[in-house]
Amino acid sequence: MNSELLQQVRVIDPVSGTDQIADVLIADGYIKAVETQISANPAETSVRDCRGLVLGPGLVDLYSHSGEPGFEERETLVTLVSAGAAGGFTRLTILPDTLPAIDNAAGLAYLQQSTIHNPKSKIQFWGALTLGVQGQQMTELAELAAAGVVGFADGKPISNLALLRRTLEYLQPLGKPVALSACDRHLSTNGVMREGAASIRFGLPGNPAIAETSALAALLEVVESTGTKVHIMRVSTGRSVKLIQDAKARGLPITASTTWMHLLLNAEDVGSYDPSLRLEPPLGNPSDQAALIEGVRSGVLDAIAIDHTPYTYEEKTVAFAEAPAGAIGLELALPLLWHALVESGDWSSLELWRVLSTRPAQCLQQKPAAIAAGQLAEIILFDPQLTWTVERQNLKSLSLNTPWLGQQLQGRVVQNWSHG
């Protein structure tokens, strides 16, 4: 028997709501026991002293980007999964804006076959809502559903509300998750950061909050009309949080998420002009950041997404306003969020783990991982005190586009069990 005993580890399990010190026995890919103290024969079992370490369910990322196919110099599926595993993510959900886009069953089958043998993370794919993710014509949604997409998302706003309405009506009987983002491109124009006092000071074109909120209000009207369940991606403004709260209070079938960087940073941080802070949607103003943090904690926003978006050094090393939007994050999110929210005392460890693991799985209509006897060992071991530097040799991702490059972080995943 291939068995391991983790002694006196801090077990965080949002499913049961427990945060306790316990011994955990793992054998043949399953959790065999979680008890105050477990005796084991060292000749048959690998015993590890885990005092000071945290054992939690594997993290689940709702949406991120792959370079492959089309942009393998940014990220391959192999490096993407390696980065996810290093960051504690046992389930990764990839957006369809690859080249070619994931808008047909044949392309999906190729990607599924390419990732089938990876033991560290379960990689799953969003199917495109529209051909080429161009927002003009519906894909063969039923065909993609039958081929095994986790759900449907373009990862880009769909401005044609008539098309969106027809698409949601068609999708309803398929019963798959649908993820939509909200932005009115006519209002955002050439804005590269959130409009406000900071954008004026920094001399950068502003993207007004109304570009998101007006599109969100229209999207919510379509959801109310069709009754199709929808996940709202990339919420970035305080007003959007209020619109979602009101919609949920009216009984609309919606869930919502923001990204990890929108919780940690705001428009004031753009003063460094680091191109890795050029995001879509842009970082909110300080009041937006506060509303997002409270929105996630209160449950108005269901989950935190990573939206890992790799770019090469050459693509990102340009003027801020000319940089493509996005940053990597799979290996950085847990330690930075833990330090900012849990160690500060603002959130409990259970609150953070819930929105990185349990709730994202539920948004995908999947059973969340749990730490209990008989459960599959989809778990990670996290050392909150381990220090490391964000640099090439310490990252699994091919790309380095992060504002934390060169900085020392505290906290890192030291082991990952997954049989996805």
Ordered DSSP codes for 197-265 = HHHHHHT--EE-THHHHHHHHHHHHHHHHH---EEEP----HHHHHHHHHHHHTT--EEEEEEHHHHH-
User: Rounded to whole angstroms, how far apart are CA atoms 63 and 402?
Assistant: 18
**Dihedral of the CA atoms 283, 287, 293, 296 (nearest 10)?**
-90
Are the CB atoms for 406 and 85 separated by under 8 Å? no
Give yes or no for a contact between 184 and 216, defined as CB atoms under 8 angstroms apart. no
Q: Which of 49, 307, 346, 383 is catalytic?
A: 307
Q: How far apart are CA 19 and CA 12, in angstroms?
A: 5
Q: Give SS3 for 39.
A: coil
Residue with tokens 């080249």: 99
Please say whether the dihedral angle defined by the alpha carbons of residues 248, 253, 254 and 255, taken in this order, is positive or negative. positive
Which segments of 257-369 does DSSP mark as H helices, in order?
260-264, 286-298, 313-316, 333-337, 349-353, 359-363
Residue with token string 């990952």: 416
> For this structure, is 346 an active site residue?
no
What DSSP string runs through 145-176?
HHHT-SEE--SS----HHHHHHHHHHHGGG--
Q: Which position has the token pair 């909150």?
A: 384
Active site amino acids = 307
